[in-house]
Amino acid sequence: MGRRKALLIGINYTGSQHELKGCRQDVRNMVPFLKSRGFVADESSMVILADDLRGPHFPTGHNILAAMDWLVSEPNCSLFLHYSGHGGQVPDQVGDRASGFSDTIVPVDYQWCGQIDSGTLHRHLVSALAPGCQLHVVFDCCHSGSAIELPYVYRSDSDGNVRMLDNVRQGMRLASAASHLLQGDFSIQQSQDARQLYAGAKTFFKSLQHIGESHEEGLGEEYFCENWKGENKRVIMFSGCRDDQTSADANIAGGHVGAMSWAFLETVRAYGNLSYLQLLQNTRWLLRQRYTQVPQLSVGSEMDLNQPLFL
């Protein structure tokens, strides 16, 4: 890896009817953690966008995308992106969402310029990622489970175990519409994760829809393959909740913070150098003490969850 770069975005929407309390504080809480991992807090290496700042640091849609372009532009860098603010959904214009909606993040000027949908985020952050880079992302917002459309998703079940749903694996196809028999090394029937698979034109799935008992976790997620197959980028994203959930704006120890941002930082402070699996499970456990949201971990390429978090 070459140098480290970070982009931190916190939006409270001050004065609006959708005002939040803890998002700007989330960003500022993230700075000491990043510095402890070797990031440098100067403008050449760490950019902060917040709605108490002005000029290019004011988090309009234009400034957010420009800052994302800056983040991923140099090869051989270790990159970190943190977003704390509103997440939303807009009608799916592409047709690859079983729900009919795409996830979004919400810039401060969303009323005039709209929201930034998951496809746009993927193109700016993942497709444009320079060679030799790795990108870690923490999204603390509603509907964030697949907010940048990464193809591999890891989820905890009710026992705290983790499984991978690989929606880009070639060779898996619907062998019989009546029996739903599948070819390949992933058994849908055994895991009870999915009800229906829609075959793509080239044996890829257009979408994947889950069913199961209401108490099971991770249900209702949607996955992406046809749009982004073959990119194989090293992007790792922790998100505060599933696509169908909201992410809490919390008051903890007398201060306003986002629940996911708080849980992520508390976990790394308490346990030190965790693996990706341990960080996911401990963050999930900490949130479960107070909130219903279920954190997600998604990645751009297959990876070993037991390797330590390396920024």
| Active site (catalytic) residues | 86, 142
Tokens of 31: 């700075």
Instruction: Give which of 296, 245, 250, 295 is closest to 103, Cα–Cα.
Output: 245
**Please, is 141 exposed, middle or buried when counting C-beta atoms within 10 Å of its C-beta (0-12, 13-18, 19+)?**
buried
Residue written as tokens 């007398």? 254
b vs e for 162-183, b when ≥16 Cβ sit within 10 Å of the residue's Cβ? beebebbbeebebeeeeeeebe
- Inter-residue contact 47 to 7 (CB < 8 Å): yes
Distance CA 116, CA 275 (A): 31
56 Rama class: left (phi>0) / alpha (psi -120 to 50) / beta: alpha
- What single letter denotes the amino acid at residue 45? S
